[in-house]
A and B are shown apart, each in its own frame.
Chain A
Amino acid sequence: MPAAHQIDIHHVAKLARLTLTEDEAACYAAQLDGILTYIDTLTQHDLGAAEPTAHAMPVYDVLRVDEPRPGFTQEQALSNAPKRSGDQFQIPKVIE
């Protein structure tokens, strides 16, 4: 069956910071196509003038007092780092 949605799966994967093998790409593209076809019940339905809802129980403008409070120590924050250099997270070289 031809795909109903033209999904550029490698582009989507790149946006999602994932790499896919060709087999995975073909599998996910077909599965997403099936799911999106189902989701099209939404695009075919007349939703009228309904306002979008982001949260069922909306809470607005939640602010806290801007003052220091206890947090992680540097050691706690780094405790799960897969790679560290001194007191910092280490990542591959970014600048030549």
Chain B
Amino acid sequence: MLASSTITTLRQQLVAGEITPRDIILDLAKAIESRNTSLGAYLSWDIDAALAEADKADTSGPLGGIPIAIKDNINVTGQPCTCGSRILAQNYTAPYDAGAIQRLRAGGAIPFGRLNMDEFAMGSSTENSALGVTRNPCDLERVPGGSSGGSAAAVAGDLAIAALGSDTGGSIRQPAALCGCVGIKPTYGRISRYGLVAFASSLDQIGPLTKTVADSALLLNHLCGHDSRDSTSLNVETPDFTASLGQDIKGLRIGLPKEYYINGIHPGVSASVQAAIRKLESLGAIIEEISLPHTELGVATYYVLAPAEASANLARFDGVRYGHRSAGAADLMEHYTRSRSEGFGPEVKRRILLGTYVLSSGYYDAYYIRAQKARTLIRDDFTEAFKKVDVILSPTSPTPAHKLGEMKDNPLAAYLEDVFTIPVNLAGLPGISVPCGTVEVEGKALPVGLQIVGKALDEATVLRVAHAFEQS
């Protein structure tokens, strides 16, 4: 079955003339049509458009003829881009390609299918989607994680070869961990945010979710690069990330933050990660304890900065230029408030309200400025730690996937699940999640993810460690 294959394998088969791009689309379409009803990974897919692209695909490109599924917050010309929200669910068709999509196309890839997500990427279970439920392929009673839950479920459930997600506080790495696939958030600024619907602009970053580390490296080669339409895009060279794969990790220094290995980690997660650490040690890595003393400030800092930025970014949804427009408003103010109140779901409203509050007169210094100062301390912690070590290891998520509905009435408890991923966004660093075993819960084997964090722009080392671990 081609749908369960990797980019690397399919490329070999395409080049050898054993299969065509059309074969891949047809096989994927069959898989989606038979299993998406139970998994809910995709919100929409257009087989005819994908076949038309497949038939004229230039298979000579490094991604030639490979379909990539897209999180529903990245614009692809002619496709929906709902952000999992009622406010964009109808009457929005993207009039342009995001920068990341243009780069995928330049490599010959075909953007195929739109993946479910927490509304506007706000959440870590995909339960905040207004448009449907996504289930974990390892246990259909459980969440896939989020916010890129559709991306992770599709890749791990063999309904996609690979996918794009976005990561603001862990939204690529955490669902990858919970579903059992690979997900990498590159250094902030590596991949253009042009055409990614903005949630928290200083934290958002696009990245791939794949079945193997090699596929992530290959996709990063094409996704990264400067884009003048994103003023935070870094004008730095993109190395060949695949070149670092296969190199050994002898003498590489790996840091374990003592603040991370404390209470609250599920014992099964802890055991899997400890086993991973021993394995890396047996491959020649040197394990050292390090300290990230401001870890305890991470989640609080994030839940000031991200909602603050979101409240400003989501002001654009005014029912005028695109998106839901309330019928029959008497005046302009009512038009705004009704269109927005009808269009946004509860978690989005909660974060807009929180963000508006922390930015409002009298609270700005107490919350927003203090959070920005705490962000400096968190970033400086990493800078200090990386003087001693090459990468930092932790669980991606402290727990395996929870059951659908379990966290419904406790938003704060759900926020605390992001404790290991959030600091990485605040510091703008690259981080990957690779599968590192499973934990048995109620008769189901639930995946555990190992997070590997590197220095800014050092995705190569992150990928090298992840690949060594994956292949061992």
Q: Contact: A50 with B373, CB < 8 Å?
A: yes
Given contacts A7-B357, A55-B232, contact A42 B301 (CB under 8 A): yes
Contacts of A34 in B (CB 8 A): 412
What 1/0 flags go to A41-84 for Cβ under 8 Å of B? 11101011011111111010010100000001000110111110
B187 contacts A by Cβ under 8 Å: yes
Q: Which of B73-126 contact A (CB under 8 A)?
A: 91-93, 95-96
What 1/0 flags go to B189-219 for Cβ under 8 Å of A? 1000000000000100000000000000000
Q: Give the bracket for the number of chain A residues in contact with chain B.
A: 35 or more
A4 contacts B by Cβ under 8 Å: no
Residue of chain B at shortest CB distance from A78: B321
Q: Contact: B325 with A83, CB < 8 Å?
A: yes
B372 contacts A by Cβ under 8 Å: yes
Contacts of B315 in A (CB 8 A): 17
B330 contacts A by Cβ under 8 Å: yes
In the bound assembly, the distance between CA atoms of A57 and B430 in angstroms comes to 12
A1 contacts B by Cβ under 8 Å: no
Given contacts A12-B357, A32-B354, A57-B234, contact A19 B321 (CB under 8 A): no
In the bound assembly, the distance between CA atoms of A35 and B426 in angstroms comes to 19
Name the residue among A31, A34, A41, A42 with the largest chain B CB count within 10 angstroms: A42
* B contact residues, total (Cβ < 8 Å): 75
Q: Contact: B232 with A35, CB < 8 Å?
A: no
Q: Contact: B427 with A56, CB < 8 Å?
A: yes
Q: Contact: B370 with A15, CB < 8 Å?
A: no
Given contacts A18-B340, A50-B376, A64-B228, contact A42 B330 (CB under 8 A): no
What 1/0 flags go to A7-32 for Cβ under 8 Å of B? 10100110111111000100010011
In the bound assembly, the distance between CA atoms of A64 and B91 in angstroms comes to 33
Residue of chain B at shortest CB distance from A65: B228
In the bound assembly, the distance between CA atoms of A91 and B318 in angstroms comes to 10
Residue of chain A at shortest CB distance from B188: A57
Q: Contact: A9 with B353, CB < 8 Å?
A: yes
B374 contacts A by Cβ under 8 Å: yes
B26 contacts A by Cβ under 8 Å: no
Q: Contact: B353 with A18, CB < 8 Å?
A: yes
Identify which of B62-70, B331-339, B397-405 touches chain A: B331-339
Q: Contact: A45 with B374, CB < 8 Å?
A: yes
Given contacts A17-B336, A18-B349, A50-B373, contact A57 B189 (CB under 8 A): yes
B420 contacts A by Cβ under 8 Å: no
Name the residue among A13, A64, A72, A76 with the largest chain B CB count within 10 angstroms: A13
In the bound assembly, the distance between CA atoms of A17 and B348 in angstroms comes to 13
Given contacts A42-B297, A50-B377, contact A19 B341 (CB under 8 A): yes
Q: How far is the CB of B290 from chain A (nearest CB, A)?
A: 19
What 1/0 flags go to B298-335 for Cβ under 8 Å of A? 01110110000001000100111111110001111111
Q: Contact: B188 with A35, CB < 8 Å?
A: no
Contacts of A9 in B (CB 8 A): 353
B371 contacts A by Cβ under 8 Å: yes
Name the residue among A32, A47, A59 with the largest chain B CB count within 10 angstroms: A47
Q: Contact residues of A with B, CB < 8 Å?
A: 7, 9, 12-13, 15-20, 24, 28, 31-32, 34-36, 38-43, 45, 47-48, 50-57, 59, 62, 64, 72, 76-77, 79-83, 89, 91-94
Q: Which 9 pairs of residues, A with B, have the shortest CB-CB distance?
A: A56-B428, A52-B372, A82-B325, A80-B322, A62-B231, A16-B356, A50-B373, A53-B376, A53-B375
- Sample of 26 A–B contacts (CB below 8 Å): A12-B360, A16-B355, A17-B333, A19-B341, A20-B349, A28-B349, A28-B353, A31-B350, A35-B412, A36-B357, A38-B299, A38-B300, A41-B297, A42-B370, A51-B376, A52-B376, A56-B426, A57-B188, A57-B232, A59-B234, A77-B95, A80-B91, A82-B319, A92-B329, A92-B330, A94-B332
Knowing that A18-B340, A48-B377 touch, tell me 19 more A-B residue pairs with CB under 8 angstroms: A18-B353, A24-B349, A36-B357, A39-B304, A39-B367, A41-B297, A42-B300, A42-B367, A42-B371, A42-B374, A52-B369, A56-B428, A79-B95, A80-B91, A82-B325, A91-B332, A92-B332, A92-B334, A92-B335
